[in-house]
Structure 1
């Protein structure tokens, strides 16, 4: 049974192309293999329609009257890690109650996936946060899993072959009404934690060992690195009942201001407007549209409706000056909004594995180093791993195995003292 799951997972993983982790051009070509389809193209042509609704037959409660993590709806789904390769798994698309960026109740969708291996006793659960897919509803991870077009599905599969259950959030505003609150730390962190709660409450998943008694791991890279790192900071106060054993976060955009400085005018400049749209979705009083010129408004329309490959192509080489009448980052309200997304100010409640490529062209290596220093300075157990010479995408691929091995040791209750002193 596991042989089907194991067939070509790492080869397919090498296809983590530009679409999800956001590297166009040479890095994407470098990551592509002849065995697998172009993930950029696949991620922009998902089979599912936008704005999916929860199963109307599911027993659902009003989000306003439910608790964070409560399961609001479920419908059968399926999981392929590459097109045309079914896996021995069970999957369900879920909707669940979470907390919006403004602190109000919201509804988020996601996918629960379990190995169909006959095991019914409690098994570890990983709540997995994907990297950038885009802001269009059609780009949501849950839309691509059935057809194998979600680009990080091979990395998710690597957890499934180890016997772990996995839940993948779609984040706020992906597949649900409103703009995706892209790079808004608290909204992403709560979506990750509430996905774990919802998975544990799923009656069908419980038959396959998904249980509140089992250990929980948090994991993600790039945007998902930020979401998982924020979830690590929030876990003790927001979801104290979860038995979080550790968090593995890679390529973490912990300081958005520093990331913005490195991206402006470059190949990945489209991320800047994506982030601006995300911040505005969380705080409409920022009035992003009032700063945009005609070119900026056209690009913002692309950002809101398309997947990341299209956005990066449209935004390639753009500066803030190219798309605005005045720079919103010069305004104190925008500066405050960006400052609120800083990660590293709160000590996580469980050990952390951080990894970063020292040739990362999207999220500066120094940003990852600073997060490590911040958490180490708080006396936290941080295990840090550098991938020499590796790009953003390259580190996502090479770091996935070590991250899962590190989580496996935490699930086995092996101690982690970190390597802050080295």
Structure 2
């Protein structure tokens, strides 16, 4: 018999509660997208990506939901010299949503200026747009899925579906990026704003470069996102004039925004969201190789580093209440190199030139409200048009309760209704 160490009952209970919570909140939102494009006969064997114990009793990375293989996500050996938003490949798929849907792979630029392939979805509703001008586009920045390929939003849980369906019913096109490294090669550069903002904008360009979608590049654009997606939406707003000035961005709705990674990490370390701090460490290490995360880790940390490079959010939740000191000989967060990269990706330095709707949960246990308020105040002091709203909830419930306000904000922006800032 193997003499495998047993986990404490308390740890097992916490892990079970975490997995149960994420399943209860998200399984009802699983779309048909996860199976789109998969041959019906013969059916491929699912990847063994379920979270199972490894040889030291931890949960192995992956997802509790099986993900079938799909070579769509494998980029060609030679990407060519495509401009940002240029389509590399596309595939129409059936999703069960009230829209024609395409998967696309497109060119974008990462945080260090390199051309990268990114995947995402384009949804064009069957319902006609009855407003003025071309059909508008909402680019939805997804919330946290994880850092591994199996975690790509187009392959797994669709947290944003409560937003997507109302947008489609209004006649808007919806585009949703998978971000850098989700589905495509490499570890996802989780929480690296300068990458996330660009791919969110380039997803719009890709949609307008897809002839079958029939989307006019001159149409109005809104950017929305929550949590990781809120950070990505804010970065898209800050980078818009520099990166994609031809887009007509008329509004940005961002909630639960992790604007300052140092402040966010201080809340996460030792808290229920420690696994998200772990994912961010992997993301920054992937984006900026000179950070060399592994060099800071002890033996236990190096085992975790090797094991969780493809972790999805369900596995991250299993690390609740843990601390960086358990895994590292030195905390990398406060070193000069890491602080420099955190500063580069701290939102607030470039106030958006578009109406901005910011919202946050009063009892958010994952993303500290204080640093979100600091972002609001920084934008307001710089003269940005900001509307702020508190929600009586914690992190997950705020995403749900704020959805009607986000839909209303986008509709008003697309129909040129007055915007009233609260600065």
* Partner residue, 2:92: 76
Q: TM-score, normalization: structure 2?
A: 0.83
Superposition pairs for residues 98-117 of structure 1, below 5 Å?
98-117=108-127
Deviation per CA, 1:83-137: give whole Å up to 9, x if none. Answer: xxx2231111101110011111111110111112356982110111011000111
RMSD (Å) for aligned C-alpha atoms = 2.7
Shift of 1:197: 0.5
Contact 1:179 1:304 in 2 (8 A): yes
Q: Following superposition, which runs of at least 4 residues in structure 1 exceed 6 angstroms of deviation?
A: 37-43
Structure 1 distance, partners of 2:240, 2:100, is 27
Structure 2 distance, partners of 1:339, 1:167, is 29
* Partner residue, 2:170: 162
Structure 2 residue 386 is the aligned partner of structure 1 residue 382:
yes
Deviation per CA, 1:391-414: give whole Å up to 9, x if none. Answer: 000110011110111111111112
* Partner residue, 1:150: 158
Structure 2 residue 158 is the aligned partner of structure 1 residue 138:
no
* Partner residue, 1:410: 413
* Partner residue, 2:297: 292
Structure 1 distance, partners of 2:359, 2:92, is 35
Shift of 1:29: 4.3
Superposition pairs for residues 14-163 of structure 1, below 5 Å?
25=17, 29=21, 32=24, 36=28, 44-49=64-69, 52-53=72-73, 63-79=79-95, 86-117=96-127, 122-144=134-156, 149-163=157-171
Structure 2 distance, partners of 1:218, 1:162, is 16
Deviation per CA, 1:134-171: give whole Å up to 9, x if none. Answer: 01111101113xxxx42333332232122211110000
| 1:360 counterpart SS class | coil
Structure 2 distance, partners of 1:132, 1:52, is 22
Deviation per CA, 1:185-210: give whole Å up to 9, x if none. Answer: 1000000000001011111111xxx2
* Partner residue, 2:5: none
Deviation per CA, 1:13-58: give whole Å up to 9, x if none. Answer: xxxxxxxxxx9948974994799379999964153426643698xx
| 1:141 counterpart SS class | coil
* Partner residue, 1:223: 228
Structure 1 distance, partners of 2:154, 2:372, is 29
User: Structure 2 vs 1, CA of residues 37 and 253 (structure 1 numbering), >3 Å: closer, same or farther?
Assistant: closer
User: Structure 2 vs 1, CA of residues 367 and 64 (structure 1 numbering), >3 Å: closer, same or farther?
Assistant: farther
Structure 2 distance, partners of 1:175, 1:95, is 10
* Partner residue, 1:278: 283
Shift of 1:247: 0.4
Contact 1:108 1:173 in 2 (8 A): yes
Q: Is 152-161 or 315-324 further displaced after alignment?
A: 152-161
Q: Is 90-99 or 44-53 further displaced after alignment?
A: 44-53
* Partner residue, 2:206: 198
- Give the count of matched residue pairs: 379
Residue 182 of structure 1 is aligned with which of 177, 190, 203? 190
Structure 2 gaps of 5+ residues are 1-14, 32-49, 52-61
Contact 2:138 2:174 in 1 (8 A): yes
Superposition pairs for residues 221-260 of structure 1, below 5 Å?
221-260=226-265
* Partner residue, 1:394: 397
| 1:414 counterpart SS class | coil
Shift of 1:328: 1.2
Structure 1 distance, partners of 2:178, 2:116, is 13
Contact 1:88 1:116 in 2 (8 A): yes
Structure 1 gaps of 5+ residues are 1-22, 80-85
* Partner residue, 1:12: none
User: Structure 2 vs 1, CA of residues 189 and 30 (structure 1 numbering), >3 Å: closer, same or farther?
Assistant: closer
Contact 2:107 2:118 in 1 (8 A): yes
